[in-house]
Amino acid sequence: MWRDLKPIGRNPDSGGYRRFAWTEADAECRTWFEEQARARGLAYEVDRNGNQWAWLGDPAAGDAVVTGSHLDSVPDGGAFDGPLGVVSSFAALDELRSRNVQFSKPLAIVNFGDEEGARFGLACVGSRLAAGELTVEQAHRLRDADGVSLPEAMEAAGFDPDAIGADPERLARIGAFVELHVEQGRVLDLSGDRVGIASAIWPHGRWRFDFRGEANHAGTTRLVDRRDPMLSYAETVLAARREAQLAGAVATFGKISVEPNGVNAIPSLVRGWLDSRAADQVTLDTVVTGIERAAREYADAHGIELDVVRESFTPVVEFDHALRDELARILGTDTDLKVPVLGTGAGHDAGILSGTIPTAMLFVRNPTGVSHSPAEYAAEDDCVAGVLALADVLEGLARR
Ligand code: HGY
Ligand code: MN
Ligand code: MN
Ligand code: MN
Per-residue pLDDT reduced to its tens digit, 226-237: 999 999 999 999
Of 314, 349, 384, the residue at which a domain comes to its end is 314
**Among the atoms of ligand 1, which is closest to the Cα of residue 372?**
5
Q: Is 70 a known ligand-binding residue?
A: yes
- The contacts of residue 143 (CB under 8 Å, 6+ apart) are 120, 149, 150
Please give the Cα distance from 296 to 186 (Å, whole number): 36
Nearest CA to ligand 1 atom 6: 116
pLDDT category at 123 given cuts 50, 70, 90 is very high
- The contacts of residue 241 (CB under 8 Å, 6+ apart) are 251
Which ligand number lies closest to the CA of residue 78? 2
Best substitution site from 84, 116, 202, 353 to test ligand 1's pocket, by max atoms within 8 Å of Cβ? Answer: 116
The average pLDDT across 338-355 equals: 93
Q: Looking at the structure, do residues 71 and 147 belong to the same domain, yes or no?
A: yes
**Among the atoms of ligand 1, which is closest to the Cα of residue 115?**
6
Nearest CA to ligand 1 atom 4: 347
CA distances from 91 to 1, 6, 35, 260, 266 (A): 7, 16, 14, 49, 54
* One-letter identity of residue 132: G
pLDDT digits 0-9 by tens, 88-112: 999 999 999 999 998 999 999 999 9
- The contacts of residue 135 (CB under 8 Å, 6+ apart) are none
Residue (of 119, 112, 67) closest to 93 by Cα position: 67
**Among the atoms of ligand 1, which is closest to the Cα of residue 345?**
3
Contact present, 131 and 356 (Cβ < 8 Å): yes
Contact present, 323 and 198 (Cβ < 8 Å): no
pLDDT digits 0-9 by tens, 170-187: 999 999 999 999 999 999
- Ligand 1 touching residue 47 (CB < 6 A): no
Least confident of 35-49, 275-289, 328-342: 328-342
pLDDT of residue 1: 58
- Ligand 1 touching residue 115 (CB < 6 A): yes
Q: Looking at the structure, do residues 157 and 184 belong to the same domain, yes or no?
A: yes
Q: Is 141 a known ligand-binding residue?
A: no
- Ligand 1 touching residue 304 (CB < 6 A): no
Q: Looking at the structure, do residues 170 and 63 belong to the same domain, yes or no?
A: yes
State residue 227 phi and psi, 5-degree precision: -125, 85
Please give the Cα distance from 291 to 243 (Å, whole number): 7
The angle formed by the CA atoms of residues 334, 384 and 375, to the nearest 5 degrees, is 130
**Among the atoms of ligand 1, which is closest to the Cα of residue 275?**
1
pLDDT digits 0-9 by tens, 54-80: 999 999 999 999 999 999 999 999 999
The average pLDDT across 316-325 equals: 94
Q: Looking at the structure, do residues 95 and 214 belong to the same domain, yes or no?
A: no
Q: What is the CATH number of the domain that holds 380?
A: 3.40.630.10
Q: Which ipTM did the prediction report?
A: 0.86
3-state DSSP assignment of residue 243: helix
- The contacts of residue 342 (CB under 8 Å, 6+ apart) are 183, 185, 187, 188, 196, 197, 198, 199, 363
Q: Looking at the structure, do residues 196 and 258 belong to the same domain, yes or no?
A: no
Q: What is the CATH number of the domain that holds 300?
A: 3.30.70.360
Angle between helices 380-399 and 321-335 (to 10 degrees): 120
Of 257, 290, 314, the residue at which a domain comes to its end is 314
Q: Looking at the structure, do residues 27 and 143 belong to the same domain, yes or no?
A: yes
Q: Looking at the structure, do residues 304 and 348 belong to the same domain, yes or no?
A: no
Q: Looking at the structure, do residues 290 and 329 belong to the same domain, yes or no?
A: no
Q: Is 133 a known ligand-binding residue?
A: no
If one counts the domains in the chain, the total is 2
Q: Is 372 a known ligand-binding residue?
A: yes
pLDDT category at 335 given cuts 50, 70, 90 is low
> Which residues span the domain enclosing 197?
2-202+316-399
Q: Looking at the structure, do residues 191 and 213 belong to the same domain, yes or no?
A: no
pLDDT digits 0-9 by tens, 149-168: 999 999 999 999 999 999 99
Average pLDDT, the chain: 95
Q: Looking at the structure, do residues 197 and 61 belong to the same domain, yes or no?
A: yes
Q: Which residues of 176-201 are buried (b: 16+ CB within 10 A; e: fewer)?
A: bbbbbbbbbbebbeeeebbbbbbbbb
- Ligand 1 touching residue 346 (CB < 6 A): yes
Of 286, 314, 342, the residue at which a domain comes to its end is 314
pLDDT of residue 332: 85
Rounded to two decimals, what is the model's pTM? 0.89
Q: Looking at the structure, do residues 64 and 125 belong to the same domain, yes or no?
A: yes
Which ligand number lies closest to the CA of residue 361? 4
Q: Looking at the structure, do residues 360 and 240 belong to the same domain, yes or no?
A: no
pLDDT of residue 5: 79
The DSSP-derived string for 121-151 is: S-S-HHHHHHHTSS-HHHHHT-B-TTS-BHH
Q: How many angstroms is it from 275 CA to the middle of ligand 1?
A: 10
